[in-house]
Structure 1
Amino acid sequence: MARAAVKAVAGEVNENGDRMLQILGESARLFATKGYDGTSMRDIAEACGISKSLLYHHFVDKDEIYARIALGSTQRLYEFVVDRLPENGTPPDRVRAFMTATGDYFQRYRSNWIASTAAFWSDPELRRHKERVMWRDRYEGLIRQLIQDAIDAGDFRAVDVPLTGRLVLSALNWMHRWYRPDKDLTPGQIAESYFDLIFNGLKAR
């Protein structure tokens, strides 16, 4: 293939990739603010500054866009958190890092988080649903393993690991229901406070 043709193909791939990221980003924002039912393909096209026909060139329908956001957000959350765990940190440090990284992810991708949370159980496509559950299970399994590591090291007392993991995730996952960006604390700082409350307790020392 001639060099000019290769460059043209590469440019088209990059343009298509950038366009899809734009569509997913704008769609997540609309789904988070207006809800799935309140968002139309026309709304998404107008937010992206493109025609509906170009939007349909990239995605079959609104359901496909919604599902892609939910799947991508679940996978990205797991990878985001794993990348921020300190390799040489103590077991409690790694639990804290898991929680603060989740808070940081929420702050950075808040629209995706809200949209994917609402969509998690509603996708009728079985294959996509199974893949999302797989990444969700990896994420939940990670915090359980980190808690178990801290117990094994003698840093945490022996507790019910699955129950403790659910407590941690419940605190983090429901932050989107009440958090407001204009408040004093960032989601990462809130997660830090959750860590102190859960693992150091309320009892005065």
Structure 2
Amino acid sequence: MKNLVDILELGGSAGPPTERMLQILTEACRLFATRGFDGVSVRDIAQECGISKATLYHHFPDKDAILRPLVMGITRSLHQRVLGAIRPEADPAEKLRAFMMESARFFEEYRWAFIVSSTVFWTDPQARQRRQRIEWRDRHEALLRGILEEGIRSGAFRIADIGMAGRLVLGALNWMPKWYDPKGPLPASAIAEQFCGMLLAGLEATPGAAAL
């Protein structure tokens, strides 16, 4: 997983994270993803980092304070990363392919943080942070809807229900953390490209096509 400093949402007044903070965040992220948030204690995180609980509390007052910058950072960074990968002059099919492949690349680079964010998206007790994450989520979904709408207007896509089509795309991408194996034969981006190809081509055989 790439350095978490690229995606953390620590707040404007917090300053850059220290090496110790990054160590705590990285180890906590892995533990949260593999054991679940409730299955990890502050003592567990401290032990993985080789530090005392007092040292951990010096940087973070509780587990929520460790979790929050990861979840917010993933939600915001995913959208910004995908948006930056889409060329405005590209045709709708290429934009959809870029959306899906860059989403998969981002997931693969920040796999543990992505899993944690997906798992606890709705559980933050602080309403303001939850609203901010939902706003970024809505921007991301609007980006996808815009691509689909452009495809309909240009005649590239035949879609009866944009909302349903968007959920199909996002469902294919968001379910990957449940089954994707980084040791498998294909990187996540190659899988997303195959998903996109299936969506664009459709699954129905053309008349006269030979059966496999």
| Normalised TM-score (structure 2) | 0.85
CA offsets per residue over residues 151-182 of structure 1, 9 Å max, x none? 11221124311110011001110111111111
Q: Tell me the CA shift for residue 15 of structure 1.
A: 7.5
Matched letter for residue 196 of structure 1: G
Matched letter for residue 134 of structure 1: E
**Structure 1 segment 97-136 matched on structure 2, within 5 A:** 97-136=98-137
**Structure 1 segment 77-156 matched on structure 2, within 5 A:** 77-156=78-157
Paired residue secondary structure (1:37):
helix
Aligned position for 1:5: none
The 10-residue stretch of structure 1 (65-74 or 17-26) with the greater mean CA deviation from structure 2 = 17-26
Task: Rate the CA distance shift 1:129–1:30 in 2: closer, same or farther, 3 A.
Answer: same
Kept in 1: contact 2:75–2:136 (CA 8 A): yes
Aligned position for 1:19: 20
Kept in 1: contact 2:159–2:165 (CA 8 A): no
Q: Tell me the CA shift for residue 32 of structure 1.
A: 0.7
Distance, in Å, in 1 between the alignment partners of 2:137 and 2:62 is 25
The 10-residue stretch of structure 1 (44-53 or 156-165) with the greater mean CA deviation from structure 2 = 44-53
Aligned position for 1:68: 69
CA offsets per residue over residues 75-121 of structure 1, 9 Å max, x none? 11111111211233212101110000011011101100111111111
Percent sequence identity over aligned pairs: 45
Q: Tell me the CA shift for residue 23 of structure 1.
A: 2.1
Kept in 1: contact 2:29–2:113 (CA 8 A): yes
Q: Tell me the CA shift for residue 192 of structure 1.
A: 0.6
Kept in 1: contact 2:141–2:166 (CA 8 A): yes
| Normalised TM-score (structure 1) | 0.87
Distance, in Å, in 1 between the alignment partners of 2:17 and 2:174 is 32
Task: Rate the CA distance shift 1:191–1:16 in 2: closer, same or farther, 3 A.
Answer: closer
Distance, in Å, in 2 between the alignment partners of 1:37 and 1:194 is 33
Matched letter for residue 137 of structure 2: R
The 10-residue stretch of structure 1 (56-65 or 163-172) with the greater mean CA deviation from structure 2 = 56-65
Matched letter for residue 65 of structure 1: I
Aligned position for 2:42: 41
Distance, in Å, in 2 between the alignment partners of 1:118 and 1:16 is 24
Kept in 2: contact 1:81–1:98 (CA 8 A): yes
Task: Rate the CA distance shift 1:34–1:129 in 2: closer, same or farther, 3 A.
Answer: same
**How large is the RMSD of aligned CA atoms in angstroms?**
1.8
Distance, in Å, in 2 between the alignment partners of 1:22 and 1:81 is 27
Distance, in Å, in 2 between the alignment partners of 1:60 and 1:70 is 17
Aligned position for 1:51: 52
Unaligned runs of 5+ in 1: 1-12
Between Structure 1 and Structure 2, the one with more helix by share is: 1
